[in-house]
Amino acid sequence: MPDILPFLNHEDIKRLISALAKRISTDYRDQDLVVIGILKGAFIFLSDLVRQLSIPVEIDFIGASSYGQNTHSSEKIRITKEIDIDILNKNVLIVEDIVDTGLTMVFLVEHLKSFSPKTVKICALLDKKERRKTDIHIDYVGQRVAGGFLVGYGLDYGEKYRNLPGIYRLKLSSSEEKL
Ligand code: 5GP
């Protein structure tokens, strides 16, 4: 197993989520909202975020896969689970663990827009903005991250580490360090 170095502990994450939840609750006050988490990585973030919201929401998940068993974006994205809720004329908030190149998000926004929602906004706990290959705008960002590969709190490396309560930087060997 590769070494991991602490990046954000659970208290840090709680603070980021509390700030995000306040902004979202204010912005969508008196409006309908469907929160759509991107599987698998966002499942823990979404569950903590929605419990901090002071507004009623509907919750759904969409499955997207762009990474295989390693840390390199394949730039090929496929839907692995479709949404179940009808989002026609509804406000949609996509919840993602981390946005990197933005290719996954561009693909999912276009996909969700095909269901004719009223609005689509994006919330990401972490944002690797410097690595962006698209001009997608993230409406709610928990924290910007310079680079490296992060695991824990829903984020995996080869499907492992998702259950860690904090977020860690993976120490990759030089041959693996392509990020
Ligand atoms: P993008 O399409 O923006 O390049 O990649 C987005 C996806 O890559 C995210 O859904 C996330 O699952 C994965 N990803 C990007 N950076 C990291 C990272 O540092 N750690 C992990 N575990 N996944 C990442």
What confidence tens digit (pLDDT) does each residue in 5-57 have? 999 999 999 999 999 999 999 999 999 999 999 999 999 999 999 999 999 99
In a domain, 162, yes or no: no
CA of 8 to the centre of ligand 1 (A): 17
Query: Does the beta carbon of 156 lie inside 6 Å of ligand 1?
Result: yes
In a domain, 17, yes or no: yes
Q: How many domains are contained in the chain?
A: 1
Tell me which of 46, 73, 100, 141 to substitute to probe ligand 1's pocket, judged by most ligand atoms within 8 Å of the beta carbon. 100
Q: How large is the average pLDDT for residues 102-114? A: 96
In a domain, 156, yes or no: no
pTM of structure: 0.92
Question: For residue 177, what pLDDT band results from cuts at 50, 70 and 90?
Answer: low
Query: Does the beta carbon of 37 lie inside 6 Å of ligand 1?
Result: no
CATH of the domain at 132: 3.40.50.2020
Structural domain that includes position 91:
10-145
CA of 98 to the centre of ligand 1 (A): 6
CA of 29 to the centre of ligand 1 (A): 30
Alpha carbon distance 82, 84 (integer Å): 7
